[in-house]
Chains A and B, each alone.
Chain A
Amino acid sequence: DSGVTQTPKHLITATGQRVTLRCSPRSGDLSVYWYQQSLDQGLQFLIQYYNGEERAKGNILERFSAQQFPDLHSELNLSSLELGDSALYFCASSAGGLLHFGNGTRLTVT
């Protein structure tokens, strides 16, 4: 158990809808990273937050947004969903150089 909690485990929704993925980092970790894993793109870095502030941005679509709250949990919001957004979304946290991954949220867009 990595100590990183992601909810929900599975999410099935329709095109055009909006969903929110939630991540609780390991106790004491200030950084949260979001990754998207799809068959064609592999593991892609989306965005990083550190102690509530956006720190780095990767291949995140404009339809996607994230935030980190004062209690350090983070949410990834995906809107106007398309079939191609179906993927496994990982959250990871770090405190000392090693990323600890949650078990992911599998999003299926139908």
Chain B
Amino acid sequence: AQKITQTQPGMFVQEKEAVTLDCTYDTSDPSYGLFWYKQPSSGEMIFLIYQGSYDQQNATEGRYSLNFQKARKSANLVISASQLGDSAMYFCAMREGGGGGSNYKLTFGKGTLLTVNP
């Protein structure tokens, strides 16, 4: 079974509007972390936001917020006020376990290609 599922291969949004990118995950470990990365066409992987399984509040980082619904095992990324530079591939990823010591291996979803239209 897929551990990270991103059901939207592609999304379109108008500049200045908000957009939600979906991510569901599957784990039986009570301790885990969820990450979102952005990959522009140039190829680099840029960290956006992190949510720990025990975090009470939804994570926010500037225009990015993570809508964490633990019971539904979803961790959707919300981008507010989209900009042309937000056009990129977005990946949801999960680390299982507390990551104690040295293990911070991530499992990635297939990604969502976001296009921001002017």
Contact residues in B for A30 (Cβ distance below 8 Å): 102
8 A Cβ contacts from B1-57 to A: 33, 35, 37, 43-45, 47, 50
Q: Does A31 contact B (CB under 8 A)?
A: yes
Establish whether residues B107 and A45, one from each chain, have CB atoms under 8 Å apart when the complex forms.
yes
How many angstroms from the CA of A106 to the CA of B44 in the assembled complex?
11
Q: Which residue from A58, A100, A103 sits with its C-beta under 8 Å from B105?
A: A58
Cβ-closest chain A residue relative to B107: A45
Cβ-closest chain B residue relative to A50: B102
Contact residues in A for B109 (Cβ distance below 8 Å): 42
Establish whether residues B43 and A98, one from each chain, have CB atoms under 8 Å apart when the complex forms.
no
Establish whether residues B108 and A43, one from each chain, have CB atoms under 8 Å apart when the complex forms.
yes
How many angstroms from the CA of A39 to the CA of B86 in the assembled complex?
21
Interface residues on A, range: 20 to 34
Write out, one digit per residue, whether chain B residues 91-118 have a CB within 8 A of any chain A CB (1) or not (0): 1000100010011111111110000000
Establish whether residues A97 and B108, one from each chain, have CB atoms under 8 Å apart when the complex forms.
no
Establish whether residues A45 and B105, one from each chain, have CB atoms under 8 Å apart when the complex forms.
yes
8 A Cβ contacts from B64-96 to A: 91, 95
Establish whether residues B102 and A42, one from each chain, have CB atoms under 8 Å apart when the complex forms.
no
Contact residues in B for A43 (Cβ distance below 8 Å): 91, 108, 111
Name the 10 nearest CB pairs between A and B, nearest first. A101-B45, A43-B108, A50-B102, A94-B104, A103-B44, A42-B110, A97-B99, A31-B102, A56-B105, A104-B43
